[in-house]
């Protein structure tokens, strides 16, 4: 007797997100399920195709029966979960987190090459941040223009490490990494040498495309001209994964 075709060994669970009854594969994370179902969840570090980071904390959600908030990007779905993604409390926390980011570095949108195409700027508007209540840190950060094609402006970096991850996980070069602690953290190329002198950088530009803000941009762009395209990432990631 022929054996039945083997089923992929992944089960499906049902859960409730914001009063919507949904089903999901048990290996999916909450943020994936939300994005599939067009439930908006803000995030700056998560990107489909890259590993989970869990650093920006904007995607925190409430889980019924649990006091502690969960980051949607690093929480797997489970049978019977009841999740709330947009409560008044979460909205308030997200606004504060975005304000903290604006106050940390020097995000002056009006003169940014990414003005109008920036995820931070967009999130601020979506979350209703129309001003920053905390004092600005006023700490100047350097700009690295040594690369012939790209430019790094630390003043606009939110330390999401998408560049670090895409370079390591997709391009395989691991040119980028992070140095320092706290707000002194900086993304660096090749043990903090100027980008233009990097031996490992392949100039593929993936880091520039995944950067949510105007921290990593193409040379020669002027205010508002830097438009990024991240569509390549999930496609590339899935092809790598299939192999």
Partner 1 sequence: MHLEDLAEKAAEFRAEEAGIQREVRVCVAASCQSSGSLAVMEALEDACGDGKGTCRVKGVGCMGLCSAGPLVSIADKDCSLDESVLYRDVTPADAPEIMGSVCGSPVERLRCPTDQPFFARQHKIVLENSGFIDPDSFKGYVAVGGYAGMVRALSEMTPADVLREVTTSGLRGRGGGGYPTGLKWSTVAKMPAGQKYVICNADEGDPGAFMDRAVLESDPHRVLEGMAIAAYAVGANKGYIYVRAEYPLAVERLQTAIRKAKRAGFLGSKVADTQFSFEVEIRLGAGAFVCGEETALMASIEGLRGQPRPRPPYPAESGLWGCPTLINNVETFANIAPIVREGGDWFASIGTERSKGTKVFALAGKIRNTGLIEVPMGTSLRDIIEIIGGGIPDGKAFKAVQTGGPSGGCIPEAHLDIPVDYDSLKTLGTMMGSGGMIVMDETSSMVDVARYFMEFCMTESCGKCIPCRTGTWQMHGLLDAIAKAQGTHADLALLEELCEVVQATSLCGLGQTAPNPVLSTLRYFRDEYEEKLQRAEL
Partner 2 sequence: MSTDHMSTPTKIRVATTWLDGCSGCHMSFLDMDERLIALAERIEIVYSPLVDTKELPEQVDVGILEGSISSEDDLEKAKTFRKRCKLLVSLGDCAVNGNVPSMRNHFKLADVMDRAYRENVTLQPQIPTREVPALLGTVKPIHGVVPVDIFVPGCPPRADAIWHVLSELIEGRIPDPSQVTRFGA
Nearest CA among 206, 232, 205, 198 for reference residue 219: 205
Q: Which is nearer to partner 2, 142 or 172 (by Cβ)?
A: 142
Q: Which is nearer to partner 2, 55 or 224 (by Cβ)?
A: 224
DSSP-derived pairing of the beta strands 12-17 and 82-84: parallel
**Residue from 16, 57, 82, 218 in contact with partner 1 (CB under 8 A):** 57
By CB under 8 A, is residue 140 in contact with partner 1? no
Q: Which is nearer to partner 1, 83 or 158 (by Cβ)?
A: 158
Tokens of 204: 């593929």
By CB under 8 A, is residue 190 in contact with partner 1? no
Q: Which is nearer to partner 2, 65 or 135 (by Cβ)?
A: 135
By CB under 8 A, is residue 131 in contact with partner 1? no
The rounded distance, in Å, linking the Cα atoms of 192 and 190 is 5
By CB under 8 A, is residue 103 in contact with partner 1? yes
**Residue from 16, 25, 74, 236 in contact with partner 1 (CB under 8 A):** 74
Whole-number minimum distance, CB 80 to partner 1, in Å? 17
Helix, coil or strand: residue 45 = coil
By CB under 8 A, is residue 131 in contact with partner 2? yes
Q: Are 36 and 17 in contact (CB under 8 A)?
A: no
* Residue 57 contact, options partner 1, partner 2, none, Cβ 5-8 Å cut-off depending on partner type: partner 1
Nearest CA among 16, 73, 68, 66 for reference residue 48: 73
By CB under 8 A, is residue 133 in contact with partner 1? yes
Total residues interacting with partner 2, rule: CB under 8 A: 26
Nearest CA among 47, 73, 239, 241 for reference residue 162: 47
Q: Which is nearer to partner 1, 158 or 226 (by Cβ)?
A: 158
Helix-, strand-, coil-residue percentages of the chain, each rounded to 5 = 30, 15, 55
The rounded distance, in Å, linking the Cα atoms of 57 and 60 is 6
Burial class (CB in 10 A: 0-12, 13-18, 19+), 121: buried
By CB under 8 A, is residue 234 in contact with partner 2? no
By CB under 8 A, is residue 140 in contact with partner 2? yes
Where do contacts with partner 1 occur on this chain (CB under 8 A)?
A: 52-58, 60, 68-69, 71, 74, 92-93, 96-97, 100-101, 103-104, 133-135, 137, 158-159, 177-178, 180-185
């Amino acid at each position: 007797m022929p054996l039945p075709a083997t089923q992929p060994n992944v089960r499906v669970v049902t859960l409730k997100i914001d009063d919507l009854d949904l089903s999901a594969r048990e290996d999916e994370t909450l943020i994936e399920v939300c994005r599939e179902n067009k439930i908006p969840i803000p995030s700056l570090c998560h990107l489909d195709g890259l590993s989970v980071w869990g650093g920006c904390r904007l995607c925190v959600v409430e889980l019924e029966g649990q006091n502690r908030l969960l980051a949607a990007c690093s929480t797997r779905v489970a049978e019977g979960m009841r999740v709330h993604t947009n409560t008044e409390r979460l909205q308030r926390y997200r606004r504060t987190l975005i304000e903290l980011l604006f106050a940390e570095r020097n995000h002056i949108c009006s003169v940014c090459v990414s003005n109008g195409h920036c995820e931070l700027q967009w999130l601020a508007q979506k979350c209703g941040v129309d001003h920053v209540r905390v004092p600005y840190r006023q700490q100047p950060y350097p700009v690295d223009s040594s690369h012939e094609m790209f430019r790094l402006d630390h003043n606009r970096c939110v330390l999401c490490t998408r560049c670090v991850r895409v370079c390591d996980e997709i391009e395989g070069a691991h040119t980028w990494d992070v140095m320092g602690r706290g707000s002194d953290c900086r993304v660096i190329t090749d043990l903090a040498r100027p980008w233009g002198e990097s031996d490992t950088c392949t100039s593929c530009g993936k880091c520039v495309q995944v950067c949510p803000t105007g921290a990593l941009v193409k040379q020669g762009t002027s205010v508002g001209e830097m438009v990024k395209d991240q569509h390549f990432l999930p496609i590339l990631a899935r092809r790598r994964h299939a192999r």
